[in-house]
Chain A
Amino acid sequence: MANKFDIQTRVEHEYAVLETAGYLNDSLGEQLSKKAQELIEKGYTQLVINLDKTALINSIGISILIEIIEALDERDGTLNFCGLSATQERTFRMMAIAKYAGIFPDEKAAIANF
């Protein structure tokens, strides 16, 4: 079963948005981590990850999101999520991710809350 996925990146002056599409597992997570790391190394420390087009996510994918939060922590950066389903948000909150990253309904709110 092929898992089709994609990551779109949009860069603004002070922040960058990473928008995922597809199942967030280890494969998509590693690609997302690589793109986030590239942005962090370029000096972007305010990132949005938009999961609106990611219907399914697994705990390995979430563990990679936590690594991105930690990488930003080391640069005093901020990660805001948006586009989560109610179940994804519930899972993120259970895993304490909401303590260390923002969770917002849409990109506009995620960007406005840096």
Chain B
Amino acid sequence: MTNTFSNDQVLLTIPMRPDMELAAAKLASVIAESMSFNDDQIEEIQLAMIESCINAFEHSQSPDQSVVIQYIISTNGLELKITDQGIGFNPTNRSKRRSSQPDLHPDMRKRGWGLEIMNTLMDSVDIMSGENGTTITMVKYKTA
């Protein structure tokens, strides 16, 4: 993300506990509203945030059981960095994951949609993952 002006940044750490993804989503909503994103864009940001947190909760196996979220505000848009200290994953393999139960309709599989939802709802999604953790960076650009 290219910035014309210096960034404002908000930092949030959440424990990997049920519904804590809502705290991250609500803060994203407040920040996005302050940036004059419209209601649809705010909902898209919230749902993408929820999926990124759930992804960390379910798969990271992070020893500190926490997720750090940076909300970076710029004139171009809102950048979200969701970081865990877990074991990492291969995003290419993850998108092909399936439920343990067979799906009746394979094109409507039950699990493994998180990354596709993030990609659908945000303008860009980038994943950096290794043995020391994962950072998902998502951007929603301001539109004129």
Contact = CB atoms under 8 A, between A and B. Distances in A.
Contacts of B47: 56-58, 87, 91
Interface stretch (B1-9, B21-29, B66-74, B136-144): B21-29
A94 B99 contact: no
Interface centre among A1, A57, A67 (most CB of B within 10 A): A1
B107 interface: yes
Contact of B120 (A23, A56, A73, A90): A90
B110 A58 contact: no
Contact of A99 (B50, B99, B107, B113): B107
Nearest to A63: B110
Interface in A1-28: 1-3, 23, 25, 27
A66 interface: yes
Interface in A49-93: 55-60, 62-63, 66-67, 69-70, 73, 85-87, 90-91
Most buried by B among A3, A58, A69, A97: A58
B77 interface: no
A25 B46 contact: no
Contact of A95 (B22, B50, B54, B108): B108
Interface residues of B, number: 30
Interface string B8-41: 0000000000111111010000000000000010
A27 to B, nearest CB: 8
B110 A67 contact: yes
A96 to B, nearest CB: 4
Contacts of A85: 40, 43
A99 B106 CA distance: 12
Contacts of A90: 120-121
A86 B59 CA distance: 29
A94 B50 CA distance: 17
Which 6 pairs from chain A and chain B are nearest by CB?
A63-B110, A96-B108, A87-B43, A96-B107, A70-B104, A59-B113
20 contacts: A3-B19, A23-B19, A25-B18, A25-B19, A55-B43, A56-B22, A56-B43, A56-B47, A59-B113, A60-B111, A66-B109, A67-B110, A86-B40, A87-B43, A90-B121, A91-B47, A95-B108, A96-B108, A97-B108, A100-B108
